Every structure is written in structure tokens, then in C-alpha cells.
Structure 1
Amino acid sequence: MALTKDSRITLNDGNRMPVIGLGTYAAPDVPRNLGEEATKAAIDLGYRHIDCAYIYGNEAEVGNAIRAKIADGTVKREDIFYTGKLWCTYFSPELVRKGLEKSLKDVGLDYLDLFLMHWPFSLKPSGAENPYDAEQPFAYDNVDFCATWEALEACKDAGLVKSIGVSNFNRRQLERLLNKPGLKYKPVCNQVECHLYLSQSKLHTYCKSKDIVLVAYSVLGSHRDKNWVDLSLPVLLEDPVLNKIAAKYHRSPAEVAMRFILQKGIVVLAKSFSPNRLKQNLGVFEFEIKSEDMKTLESLDKNLHFGPFKEMKQHPEYPFHDEY
């Protein structure tokens, strides 16, 4: 079946996720209202999957946009698939529901479609409204994410969220969760960094074997926030092989990089606050990459993380020490 912007993938709990979504992370120096305007523009263009998080600090603005588009009749609530994420300072079981309820309040919705554990490691609450504002935001905690998961299952049973999943988990951590005694719900997805330089093929194969959808962020490798990314790393969209293939298909390098991920059966989150770029990104549904070119693009894999969150390397649950 041909992929379109309206295509959805069925999750292991029966809910359906659009195969392309709007990523809403922005660096702290980006005005928050830009996220609101971009979300409105994206919904007008046909995007129905909106990915956000408490730690992004803009759930209120993104929520304003969603509710405005519902109010003006562009969409109904059930048309929108909204993803939120539980930040690591809310991993204590007694805090999980509070973290979810804060996101619900900020975004102004009665339920979330998907709520993810943002990372597999826990941090001690800093007391700051935004942990990134605290002087020591990365104080380790030792909460077992399996206990966090049980609290998330209770939130699903309470109707506060339709689906629950994880983000940035490696295979070993997924296995630990899946083998947890008394597991009630499997994670529906694992959201990870994934692009031409980090194809995640082994992790994708494992997740497929467990009926867990892989969701890709940083698909263009263009996240260049100096706070998190080594700016000496290569710029993915300037890759000569990618550009040669893009020219062959008369498409932008970004469209080919995104289409590559989609054709692998991975859900794509495309982050842009430019209406023109958001529209251009939907061009991924207007062409198909031939198998020989898919193999060529696959060969670009360098197992390169643009966002390794190296500040957490000493945490026992840091996920990127493992191969995948």
C-alpha cells in the first residue's frame, strides 16, 4: 500500500499512529510562539501527529495551537495524535501521574494519545520548574524504570493516556521491561535518534520482532544546538552521496533522508518551524526510492549519535554503551 500523509501504523494495543509527525523541540533561545504558529501551520497542511515533551518547555503553546485548530473546525480531537513525555525527575512511582497531569494541564487536553518515558534513567527532582534551569539538574537517582512503567500502566487504565511507550531505550533495557513479572502492557514504541548516519537497523529488527514500533527523531541530523551537539560533526544534509541520489530523484536531500526512514517502516518526526519547509517535507509521499539506492543510503551508516546526552554517561542506565 502506498504511503500518504494520512497513513497510520497500528500499534500493539490497537491504537493507530500517523507515520509522519511534527517534532516541536526548539533551543531555549527560540521564541516559544514559533512552536505555536508552526503547529497551526502543520495541522493546516495535514499533519496529525504532534510530538512534544514536558522538558521542551512549550507544551502550553503547542496545546494552544491544537485547541485553536479544533475550535475553528480544521480537525476534531480524535484526528490528532499527541505525544508527550515523562521527564526523568518524575520517575518515582508516586510522581508519574503528577508528571502526566502536568502535561495534560499545560497542553489543555483531556487525554494524551501517547506518553513516553523520555529516557531509561531517573534523575533526582531539582525543585526547579524546568530541570534545565537548576544549578545541578543532573543529580542521579536510582529509581528502577520497571516501577515507573507500572505507574504508567495505571495511568493508561485510568484513561489519562491511550498508549504508553519508551524513548532512547536499548535492546537490553527493552528486554528487561518486556520480561518484567506482571507486565500488563508492552511499550507500543521506542522513540530514538535515527537517520542516515545512525540507521538503527539492529534495534529496528529487534523491535519489530516484539511488535514495537520504532519512531525516529533527528531524522535530518540537523539538530545543531551547541548545548548538546558536537558542532565539528559532519552535516548530514551535505553528504555527497545523499545529494547525488537527491538530484537523481529531483528531490531535496531532506526529502530523500526522510523517505529512506519511512521506507524502512519507521515512523518519522520532522522538526521545522518553517511553513514552507513543513510543506516541502510532505513531498516524501510523492516518490519512492529504488532498492539499489536504499542499499547505497544504508551504507552511509556510521553509528553516529548527534545527541548522545554525554552528561549522563556515568549513569548506570545510560543506554548508548551497548551496541544497540
Structure 2
Amino acid sequence: MIAIEITAPGGAGVLKPCERAMPIAGDNQVLIEVAAAGINRPDIMQRQGHYPPPPGASDIPGLEVAGTVVAIGNQVSHLKIGDRVCALVAGGGYAQYCLARASLALPIPETLDFIEAAALPETFFTVWSNVFDRGQLQAGETLLIHGGSGGIGTTAIQLAKAFGANVIATAGSAEKCRFCCQLGADSAIDYKRQDFAEEVGKLTDGDGVDVILDMVAGDYFPRNLKSLAIEGRLVQIAIQHGAKSEINLWSVMKKRLTITGSTLRGRDDEFKTQIAEQLRQRVWPLLASGTIKPVIHRCYPLTEAAAAHELMESGLHTGKIILTV
């Protein structure tokens, strides 16, 4: 089969097509003939040499795929050959065929095609786990989403609004801010022209927000603490501006703040299966009805994975970037 491998740590040019052996499904796995695969920030980090795959995972990048089941393991009973599925995987997505844990392969709603379905697993698993499980966002509360126009952001905006929350998003241009509002955000802040902490104060009459979903860290951290309301929760899911920052513990104590965070790729299959079941029950009906829908910016052929990475690193995209096979 054709796959995309990382020939050495470095820039997008290290991604090269190669021939790999066809994977064989284990007892609890399915083999998916991949129609489309999503591009995600962890793929960039892996290519750069900063985020190696967990033990036992494929060295081929790619954390989410959509396609058709072509083989099933001996202990798989809820899926059959020919089923259309999208799956969260720990690696191996940039290929013609990909193995997935059967419990992490979800049926594709009839309203979605393979390209749209490939945009679901990584972002929806991440947002549900961090915003609703760790962040405990409730109806009527306010969520601040950094990077509102990206794959995670567009998903978080739609899910938060669908479950009755108020949403403030940050984005890097006036055009992207307008897009966030069109998608459902109540307000959007251009972080290149405005101090988001000051704007949050104005938008909330000084009260602050209840939950922040942040992938920036670094110099954002103190401003995030300033932006949180009493009993507010900061959920950190990436560190694009660096892992280190100063913390004012008095503000944490005074406002009784919760600071948490997580990564998803290295968690065990049982944990991910619990998220998959919550998505199946509570979010998949919203996709089937069209209440929420993945946002696709652009598609590239599998063999042009390097160009897809360059686009993601440019920051010019709105929504998801997809590889088609």
C-alpha cells in the first residue's frame, strides 16, 4: 500500500510517499480502506521530532481516518465488512489502509461524506473530553475558545452552542472573527489587534468566563487567569507559545480557579472508548440532523501531504485540512 512516512525530523519536505505492507487486523481491530484522513497539529509535532508515537503505534502520521471496513478481528461483532466508519487512531492515518481499535470506529452519519467524516474523530474526541468532561461546561456558562477558526475551534464553537453555552472566540484576523460569529460564537476577538483579556472583561462586564480552552500557553497563561470568573476552569491542550509561564497563585486562590489539561494520543483505548460512546449517544445525533457540521478548508491528495502541512503551519486555513486517498 502507499503511505506517507517521515524520513527524518524536519520541515514539511521530509514527508515522502512510500510502499508499506498491508496491516493485518488483530482480535479487537478493524482494517479500514482509507478514503480520507485529517491533518492535525500533533502530526506537525511528530514530523518535527517533538511528539513520537506511543509504544505499539504506527510510525506513519495521521490520527483520524474515514473509509470502509475491509477486514475485522475475531472479537469484533458490532461492525461488518462494508461499513462506512470514521476512527480515532494513534497513528497510521496517512495511508491507503489503516488499523483501528473497533470501539473507536464510529459509524458515519448518512448526511456526511468521507471527507467530512475524516474531520470528526480527533477534534470531536478532544473537544468533548476537555470542554465537557474536564472543563465541566454547563448550559448558560461562557466558554472562551482560543483559535476559534481552526479545526478544534470550529468544533468547540458548535458543540458549546448546541449544549446551551455562550461562546467567545479568539482568531487572527477580522475575517476569521466574522467567520467564528457566523458559525455561532456570540463574540470574537482579533488577538493580533486586541488584548483578549481586556476584551473579555468588557464583554462579560468584568465577571470573566467560566471555561477557557487553550492551545497556546506561554504568554497567554497569565491573561487566561485574568480572564477567568470565580470558580473558572482553564483547560490546556497544547503549548504553541511554550510550556513555561509565571503563575500568580494569589489569583488562583482568590478566585478558586481550576487549572487542568490533557493529551489524548497516549491515553489507553478504554478511556478513548468511553469518549466514543458519549459522542455516539450525545453528539452523533446532532451531526445526523445537521445541527452541527465539520468545517473543511481544503483537501489535498495523499501524496501531497507536505503541501497540506505547509498550509496548516501558515495559519491561513479556516477549519480542517484533509488528505484524500
By the TM > 0.5 criterion, same fold? no
Q: Which has the higher helix share?
A: 1
TM-score (norm 2): 0.29
TM-score normalised by structure 1 residue count: 0.29
